[in-house]
Structure 1
Amino acid sequence: MAKGGSGDVLTGVIAAFIGAGLSPFDSTCLGAYIHGLAGDIAAEKIGGYGVLARDIARHIPEAIDQILKTAK
C-alpha cells in the first residue's frame, strides 16, 4: 500500500482513535490493522493495482464492521 495518500489515511485513523481516548500505542496498532484490512477489502473489490488512498478510506467502515462481527 505504498500509494500516495495512504499514509495520510493511516494517520487519520490513528488520530481518530487517539481522539476517542485510546493510548497512542493501542491507536497505532488498531489503526494499522484497520487500514490494512480496508486495503485488502478494497483490493478484492477493485483489484490490487488500482487501489488508491480514497478507496482505502471508503472501506474503513466496512473493515470496522467486519472486525465487530467477528468479535461477537
Structure 2
Amino acid sequence: MTSRKHSTILTPHTGELGAIVGKDGSTIEMLRSQASREAARLLKSIVCLKGSPTATATPQGEVYLNSTGNPGMATIGSGDVLTGIVASLLSQGMLPIEAAYTGVFMHGLAGDLAASELGQRSVMAMDILDRVPDAFKMLEEG
C-alpha cells in the first residue's frame, strides 16, 4: 500500500484496522486518535477510523474527531454509505482530506437525522442513505 502514487482513503472499524496493522481491536478502540494517526503514517493513507467518535487521520499526523453520528449507525452497510459519500465528494473535486472529513461529518449527520426520526435501534443503512440529501441541505442552508 505504501508505494501508491495517489491518495488513498481507508474507512475501517477498529477490528479491521487492527488486522491491517497487526494490533488488537480493543487496543485500537482505547487509543482511537493515536491509532488512527499511526496507521495513517504507516500506510501513507487517510484513515477514517469508524466509531465513537470517528477519527480521520492524515499521513502528516493531523487527526480530526467527528461530532456527528450515533451508536445506531453500527449496522450492516453503513460503512458502504460512508464510502459512497466520500467517493461522491472526491468526484466533485474536493481534496482527499476534505472529502474524508466532510464525508464523515455528513454521514454522521444523516445518521443523526435517521435516529431522531426512527430511534437509534431502528436505523439501517438505507435510512442513513435516504437522509443524505437532507443533511447536505441543512449544511448548505446553515
Which TM-score tier does this pair reach, normalised by the shorter chain? over 0.9
State how far apart, in whole Å, the 1-side matches of 2:92 and 2:136 are.
15
Structure 1: stretches of 5+ with no match in the other structure: none
The normalised TM-score by structure 2 is 0.49
Structure 2: stretches of 5+ with no match in the other structure: 1-72
**Number of paired residues?**
70
> What does 1:12-23 align with in structure 2 at a 5 Å threshold?
12-23=84-95
Paired residue for 1:3? 75
Higher percent of residues as strand: 2
Higher percent of residues as helix: 1
Runs (4+) of structure 1 moved beyond 4 Å?
Answer: none
RMSD across aligned positions (CA): 0.5
The alignment-based identity, stated in percent, is: 41
Tell me the SS of whatever aligns to 1:57.
helix
1:44 to 112, 116, 122: 116
Higher radius of gyration, 1 or 2: 2
2:129 to 52, 57, 70: 57
Deviation, structure 1 residue 59:
0.1
State how far apart, in whole Å, the 2-side matches of 1:25 and 1:37 are.
18
The normalised TM-score by structure 1 is 0.95
